[in-house]
Amino acid sequence: MIGQLLTGRYLILEKLGTGGFSETYLARDKYLPQHPLCVVKQLRLPVQSKLSIETARQLFEAEAHLLGQLGQNYAQIPTLFAYAHEQDSTYLVQEYIEGDTLAAWVNSPKPFSPKKAIALLLQLLPVLSYIHSHGVIHCDITPSNLIYRRRDSKIVLIDFGAASKTNATQQPALLGTPGYIPDEQCLGMPQISSDLYALGILMIHLLTKADPRQFKQDLISGELDWQHYLKTSLPASLMMILNRLVRSRVSDRYQDASEVLADLKQWRISQRPRPNRLRTVQKVLLPMSAALFCGALISQIPKLNQNYGEQAKSAISQLEQQIIPQTENHLTMLRELSMKSGIDRLLIAPNKQVMVSVGVDRRLQLWSLPDGKQTATLANDRVPITTLVISSDSRFLVSGREDGTLQLWDINRGRLLQQFTGHKKSVIAIAISPDLKIVTSSSKDRTVRQWNLQTGTLIRTLNSPASEVSAIAYPAISDKLITASRDRKLQVWNLRDGQVDRTFSGHTDEIVGLQIVNDHTLISFGKDRGMMWDLKRETLAQVLPEASANSILVSKCKRNIMTVHSNGSIRAWIPKDGQLVMQETGKLDNPKNVAFSPAHDYLVSWNADQRLRFWQIH
């Protein structure tokens, strides 16, 4: 199989493994841009197999059907791309999950803590609840069939080759992994609780690092005797949950994943510390006492010699860190204004000195930063403004309007310089070239037009894309242009001939924004999540986790990526060890419109309470 090109599309790279009636290979999809990796699973029955070829073919077809049913709408199950026959071979093609299986966790010398066990249960139980709600029993919940996905730290359930429908009368016996199979599954009659049994064995395997085939039934109780394999103690409630998961009798086990989740959550609530009045008093008095003490000590520092002064400052710093509680809110409000009219759009200039707003009353206004004072009203027109862009030198502002026109403004002088006409419908997106010579705009009329920034004349109209262009960006290379269209694709245009050089795909929902990070990196902001692209290698470089989806605003600077969400949370995605680590940086009160300064040191928010707020980010 290695080196074969299936159906002229899937190039087989290497063998990944062998199952009960199939072989799995890593492949590349030669049809799609960047030739992304995928997994090809070929029906192949071992010579010593007790299954008939007819039964194996039925199971293989059932696996493809289940993947098509379950993986399409659930992120923690692979998506089925194809199921086909070629010559004498039958195979299915599915999503490649980059990461390590939990088998690596089992083989790791590091102990698996109760805290990790609970976190893993909380991830896996919703997955089992999802497949069970669709009438599917996986029948092979084992470490090798669970992958820790690297890009978002989610656990993905793979290999539905042994799966059974809940209404099935019989399935071939002994499909599954020894040690993980309860009695009823050995008899060919798996139940929903059979998966929960396997889940319990999985957790015990990770906690003890002992092969489940070693576990014997107690002669008196008839239950598995696994506790003496533990090398550390477990909380009594977690022990109770694990014991109930692996009961021998089906009726004695949990019957549904939601029951396990309920017990876990109830236990976690009971573990929370109760309020302590003395501790509350300490929280109030100790910081005050510390502040007074620090103030007195600081006042004496000039009287000390330099060496002792440095020691005193160090002591004060340590004292503050130990006693004075650190705030998790990294926002400081600089100014708050009550507005009579709502605000549709906000934008902060690259120089961090000017903020632009578009009101519901269609007024285009300039504000000074960081004091938040209104400096000018540029327009008070009847035509709604649909989009804004500011030039990289913060001199020019271009506004797109619902009637298809664009207006060029001098920010420093506060006056209109040019008006661009040509679009027949509302303007969607605008970008200014790095050399400040060209303005490019897209419209609902499905055209992309380029204008001379100084004269306002139309330079050319690019070939209409398949759907409306929702975002535009200029890379450092002056003869290139990047657009995002409503069909969730990215196009790289060659401006020398006005043609599309490359098309990138990967988003599953609408792309709402583009941002050039450096000479070769682009970030696309979708309703599904953010993605970073290496323009030099023409590949997808990194995918933001799912928690970045459905954000009001996404912004990238040298330090981090920040997202603002409708619940008011601000999240900073910080690069660490090749991944993005999220931290909450503050809360806004029901934000409707938000703007970041390019370096993420200022934030302006417009809220449903009709208040415009200017913030500094620490």
In the block, which residue shows the tokens 């197999």?
49
Asked whether residue 118 carries a pLDDT value surpassing 80, the answer given is yes
Report pLDDT digits (tens) over 126-135. 999 999 999 9
Quickly tell me which residue has 């680590």 as its tokens: 581
Average pLDDT over residues 459-467: 78
Please give the average per-residue pLDDT across 389-401, as a whole number.
Answer: 93
**Helical axes 277-300 vs 306-323, angle rounded to 10°:** 170
- Give the per-residue pLDDT at 313: 39
- pLDDT of 610 over the 80 cut: yes
- Binned at pLDDT 50, 70 and 90, residue 86 comes out as confident
* Cα gap 602→582, rounded to integer Å: 19
Query: Are the CB atoms for 571 and 617 separated by under 8 Å?
Result: no
Among 118-132, 376-390, 563-577, the least confident range = 563-577
Who has greater pLDDT, 37 or 286?
37
Query: What are the φ and ψ backbone dihedral angles of 268, each rounded to 5 degrees?
Result: -65, -35
| Other Cβ atoms within 10 Å of 125 Cβ, number | 20
Distance CA 588, CA 594 (A): 10
Average pLDDT of the residues in 24-41: 90
At residue 616, the 3 state secondary structure works out as strand
User: Between 126 and 89, whose confidence is greater?
Assistant: 126
Task: Kindly indicate the confidence band of residue 299, based on its pLDDT and cuts at 50, 70 and 90.
Answer: very low
pLDDT value for 378 = 87
Give pLDDT, residue 136.
94
User: What is the pLDDT averaged over residues 136-153?
Assistant: 94
pLDDT at 550: 67
pLDDT tens across 221-252, in order? 788 989 889 988 888 889 999 999 999 999 99
The pLDDT of residue 298? 38
Report how far residue 140's alpha carbon sits from residue 157's, in angstroms, rounded to the nearest whole number: 10
Q: What is the pLDDT of residue 199?
A: 97
* In contact, 603 and 331? CB cutoff 8 Å: yes
Residue 421, beta-bridge partner list: none
Confidence at residue 319, expressed as pLDDT on a 0 to 100 scale? 32
Region 352-363: mean pLDDT is 90
CA distances from 187 to 112, 184, 194, 221, 467 (A): 32, 5, 12, 22, 55
Q: Can you tell me the distance from the alpha carbon of 318 to that of 121, in angstroms, rounded to the nearest whole number?
A: 39
More confidently predicted of 174 and 409:
409
Which of 438, 451, 452, 489 shows the shortest CA–CA distance to 468? 489
Does the annotation mark 252 as catalytic? no
Nearest-5° Cα angle at 52, 51 to 53:
115
Q: Mapping DSSP to helix (H, G, I), strand (E, B) and coil, where does residue 558 land?
A: coil
Chain mean position to CA 309 = 48
Range scoring the smallest mean pLDDT among 316-325, 467-476, 508-517 = 316-325
**Residues 34 and 539: beta-carbon distance below 8 Å:** yes
234 and 204 in contact (C-beta within 8 Å)? Answer: no
Tell me which DSSP letter residue 382 carries.
Answer: S
Cα–chain-centroid distance for residue 123? 15
Strand order, beta sheet including 89-95:
5-6, 10-18, 22-29, 37-43, 89-95, 80-86
Residue 84 backbone dihedrals phi, psi, to 5 degrees:
-150, 165
pLDDT score for 278: 43
Helices 114-133, 192-208: axis angle to 10 degrees equals 160
Contacts of 257 (CB under 8 A, 6+ apart): 125, 126, 128, 129, 132, 196
Strand partners, 472: 483
pLDDT in tens, 519-578: 788 888 888 888 888 887 777 777 777 777 767 777 777 778 888 887 778 888 777 655
pLDDT digits (tens, 9 = 90+) for 260-282: 998 888 776 555 555 454 444 44
**CA–CA distance from 191 to each of 36, 224, 247 (Å)?**
37, 19, 13
Please give the average per-residue pLDDT across 80-104, as a whole number.
90
pLDDT-derived band at 310 (thresholds 50, 70, 90) equals very low
- Cα–Cα separations (whole angstroms), residue 367 to 345, 376, 403: 13, 7, 26
Judge whether 404 and 426 are in contact, CB under 8 Å. Answer: yes
More confident residue, 135 or 304: 135
Residue 293 pLDDT: 40
- The rounded mean pLDDT for the chain is 83
- What are the structure tokens assigned to 507, written together? 């988003």
Contacts of 118 (CB under 8 A, 6+ apart): 238, 264, 268
Confidence band of 205 (pLDDT split at 50, 70, 90): very high
pLDDT of residue 465: 62
Mean pLDDT along residues 463-482 = 82
pLDDT above 80 for 385: yes
User: For residue 475, is the peptide bond before it cis, meaning its omega torsion is within 30 degrees of 0?
Assistant: no
Note the pLDDT of residue 73.
85
Strand, coil or helix: what is 114?
helix
Annotated catalytic residue, options 140, 159, 344, 528? 140
User: Which residues, in sequence order, are CB contacts of 186 under 8 Å at separation 6+?
Assistant: 173, 174
pLDDT of the residue at 27: 93
Give 86's Cβ-side CA count (13 Å radius). Answer: 17
8-state DSSP, 273: P
Q: Which pTM value belongs to this model? A: 0.49
**pLDDT above 60: residue 323:** no
Q: How far separated are the first and last CA of the chain, in Å rounded?
A: 56
